């Protein structure tokens, strides 16, 4: 399967964002990354936004399911195990998204960065006893090393 050009991928990602199609936006930004070309500052921002929006589409349902699970658990409901399973499915999806983003950054974006300081924000999903925290947490930078003259 041939990937579309970086320019076409960026155009489609912007269009998908305007339409609220965040999974498509992330898919197009992944294709832009896999094009092998370095992303501009604007394109890096679009990449970060695609990742953030995609995580957000999972975070809201996770909160609803978690709150419902706690209520059902307090009532010793027969639905509590079902809700726990569903919550776990959502958490696994978030983890897969995070792993995919981190792989794109580490394997494709940072090694190709030619500018003096390039930063990409990693997505991390952290579970506490009450919340699944989906945040942009870790910033990685690649700096050109000063060569001895």
pLDDT of the residue at 62: 86
Percent of the chain whose predicted confidence (pLDDT) is above 70: 74
Cross-strand bridge partners of residue 119: 141
pLDDT above 90: residue 21: yes
Q: Is 134 helix (H, G, I), strand (E, B) or coil?
A: strand
Q: What angle do CA 129, 53, 134 make, to 5 degrees?
A: 15
User: pLDDT tens digit string along 57-66?
Assistant: 888 888 899 8
Q: How far is Cα 109 from Cα 125, in angstroms, rounded to an integer? A: 21
Of residues 18 and 51, the one with the higher pLDDT is: 18
- Confidence label for 138 from pLDDT (cuts 50, 70 and 90): very low
Q: In this structure, what are the phi and psi dihedrals at residue 131, rounded to the nearest 5 degrees?
A: -140, 150
């Amino acid at each position: 399967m041939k990937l579309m050009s970086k320019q076409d991928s960026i155009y489609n990602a912007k269009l998908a964002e305007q339409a609220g199609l965040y999974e498509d936006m992330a898919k197009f930004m992944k294709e832009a990354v896999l094009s092998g070309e370095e992303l501009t500052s604007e394109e890096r921002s679009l990449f970060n936004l695609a990742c953030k929006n995609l995580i957000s589409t999972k975070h809201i349902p996770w909160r609803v399911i978690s709150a419902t699970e706690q209520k059902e658990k307090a009532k010793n409901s027969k639905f509590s195990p079902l809700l726990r399973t569903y919550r776990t499915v959502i958490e696994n999806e978030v983890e897969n998204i995070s792993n995919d983003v981190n792989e794109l950054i580490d394997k494709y974006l940072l090694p190709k960065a030619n500018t003096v300081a390039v930063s990409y924000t990693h997505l991390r999903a952290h579970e506490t006893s009450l919340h699944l925290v989906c945040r942009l947490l870790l910033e990685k930078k690649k700096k050109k090393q000063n060569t001895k003259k």
